[in-house]
Structure 1
Amino acid sequence: MLESGNGITHCGFVALIGRPNVGKSTLLNKILGEKIVITSRKPQTTRNSIKGIINHKSSQIVIFDTPGVHEGAKLINRYMARRALSTLSEVDLVLFLVDAKDGVRDEDRMLAEKISEAKVPVFVVVNKSDVREGAGGEFSQLLPSSEVFEVSALSGKGTGELLDAMSAAMPENPACYPEDYLTDRPERFIAQEFIREKVFELTGEELPYSVAVTIELWEEKPEQDLNVIHATIHVERDSQKAIIIGKGGTLIKEIGKRARMDLEKLLGTRVFLDLHVGVEKNWTKDPVQLKRFGYGEADA
């Protein structure tokens, strides 16, 4: 699907926006052809915007994968909603992702209203169209003047047509990034996200939302084809620390094993991953701690 960045004559920015758990990160990974964004069946896995960079035909398309917009009471929920909506003022095109299986929800209507206020071209992208075909007409009423695309982020159905349309919508500009870039985020950030993803996969419903990850040490050893990474998983309570570690250390070992496999695929080397768990009391409610863990000015 991806083509060479040589001869780029058009370049623009695209916001991928939708309510939680509609498949935004899965769609971005599918279009890129490589995993750079973590995914989970649990809502609000994505906390920060991450840019995916695609060279297609004569266009470079820079896509912001944004947190799912959700009106939660916690500081971190408000931060994520603001971060997602703030991208509307920075882009040339919005991909409004909705879920064919769920139908139109109140959160979709709220988001459509916010998007229409931004006065930016919009594609309504109906995901999971292989589960419920023909849902595009229902969603077209949200933004009647917008083009509708029915896709499956899992199988890739319809993503080629969507990518062609995105390419054609980009303004005339030189490329913003070198052609071999897939994202603007450093490997350290992606490593943190991969570890956090494994916590989402392996723990209960609420615990993942109390987790942050920091990389304490990253040492490259090219002569051994090895990256040595030491990371800390931060939780809010001692009881959560015990859950992450698991009986006899079994769960943290499994988290490390799964994260290491993804990291080795990303980096193309062997990885030694050492994980520790730390307790930061009520960090999701503390503006200072939120900023420390990379979640911006969350107290506004």
Structure 2
Amino acid sequence: MKAVFIDASESLGDVTERLRLNDDMPISVNRNPDITPDEIPAVVGDADVIWVDHTSLPTDIASQCPNLRHVVFMGTGARSYMDPEELAEVGIQVHIIKGYGDTAVAECAFGLMWDAAKSFTRMDRGVRAGGWPRTDGVELTGKTLGLIGFGGIGAEMARLGRGVGMRVIAWNRSPKTSEGVEFLPLDQVLAQSHVVSIHLLLNDETRGMIDAACFEKMRDGVLFVNTARGAVVDEEAMIQALESGKIAHAGLDVYETEPLPAEHPLTRLENVTLSAHSAFRTPEASDKLVQAALAHTRRVSR
């Protein structure tokens, strides 16, 4: 058996080559993060296992890889790039990796929350342009942080929020308990929170879940953070809420279309902080990610 990492960045390629053991199956690292779906069969060749970081894998393309039986998706959001059920029907199993970036993503969400509260990036843009846009900030100590979804990342965000003196409330699709966190119905979390932070996986139930009705239930002037998946949020409804001031400021790491198209409406709004789906990009998280991918690969090779 052999494996191919089809779309490795330079950093993930280096980590893979550093952590792979001599007795692991051969793993070819294709250092082309911009590979297109049509190029995949030639890169995969007769490999049995592929690692996919962020490239779309249509089922008809995967079916052109004769020996392919396992896809290791480098994260949890495989459904944004492939259809696991369709792939299973043609004999290809999709494996996802959880937990590797919980702290990294939570710290990103925490940073975006603080930027939304203090308008650092807005002032930075103004000062660089020769202006002096002094902006009133918001004190977060004592405010309510509402978490929509409470997996590993949500739990880490709760820890950080509690650490700076915020009240933390949360809603999760299945019952959860956590010290210092009050679990409430979704409508109450939306209504009571000064900051709403999204921590949901993307699936058929959550796609478009944060819609216009949800924004209407939020406080006027709410701060909104999304480091989960762009498609969980109705982007048009979010933009309308930003334009009206319902959302005072949003911190976003994810979007419906990535990369974010040039001249996208979000790029023209001053009350948005944009990052490039990079919340999980830390050396610590990368090591955990590759170690988990190697563990999947070793397991399926037995």
| TM-score (norm: length of structure 1) | 0.28
Of structures 1 and 2, the one with the larger relative CO (CA 8 A, separation 6+) is 1
| TM-score (norm: length of structure 2) | 0.28
In our comparison, the structure showing a higher alpha carbon Rg is 2
